Structure 1
């Protein structure tokens, strides 16, 4: 494709934007995965602390320790809720970036389709011109045979 062709330039620009959006999508997906992993770690920590509290209560825990455990569990619950909000916002960012990626991909596909159609139309014109030349050559050859 000719670099001076405006469609090729637009397609190249669309391809660059798609590449940028792909990188951005990868980055936000990685942040989401990290947030999900952290959420799982918080859940595990919360379960371990609940288990520790149950074992302590069964083994005869002091009132002060019981209150401290319960206060810590309440604080941990708040952290888990806040982190759920963080995971949710990360998911929204990923969804928006996916939508943006889809738009960029569709734009690139549109330019590629237009370029392909133009190339096909150009090839058809060239094929018709070639056929016309062949027909003229055959006609001249036939006329020359008749003259002989």
Structure 2
């Protein structure tokens, strides 16, 4: 039965956390893209509606009731655009927060991997020295046996 190195366990946990953070970052970015797309769509709709109002006023004219309705709708639409802009800003902040968390988790994983690699390198060096010592002792014994003969 192999005893698992605690450092490997910590690295595996850090790797799992990084994977979860990566998924969260993808989700946050997707929400941001959707919020930006919706904001742009609302802005286009507002521009089109203002254009429609200008054309209606310049063309055959509009009744006062239609003019008031158009203007009040544009005011309401501007409020929706502003609210959506706030949603975009909140989404950008969320992406930035998850991104910072991802960077920290990646650094932590890299630290564990570095420690594991250093430990493996130190163990390999120690093993190499033991083997060299055994080879030196063997060579010395062979040399001593030859001298006796």
TM-score when normalising by structure 2: 0.94
Q: Tell me the equivalent position of 1:27.
A: 27
Larger mean Cα displacement after TM superposition, 136-145 or 40-49:
136-145
Q: Tell me the equivalent position of 1:134.
A: 135
Task: Specify every segment of 5 or more residues in structure 1 that has no aligned partner in the other structure, as ranges.
Answer: none
Q: Would you identify which runs of 4 or more consecutive aligned residues in structure 1 move more than 6 Å?
A: none
Q: Tell me the equivalent position of 1:72.
A: 73
Shift of 1:16: 0.7
Cα offsets for 1:19-71 (capped at 9, x unmatched): 11111111111111100000010011011111111111111122211111111
The 5 A counterparts of 1:1-148 are 4-59=4-59, 60-148=61-149
SS in 1 for 2:68: helix
SS in 1 for 2:42: helix
Task: Specify every segment of 5 or more residues in structure 2 that has no aligned partner in the other structure, as ranges.
Answer: none
**RMSD (Å), alpha carbons:** 1.1
Aligned length: 147
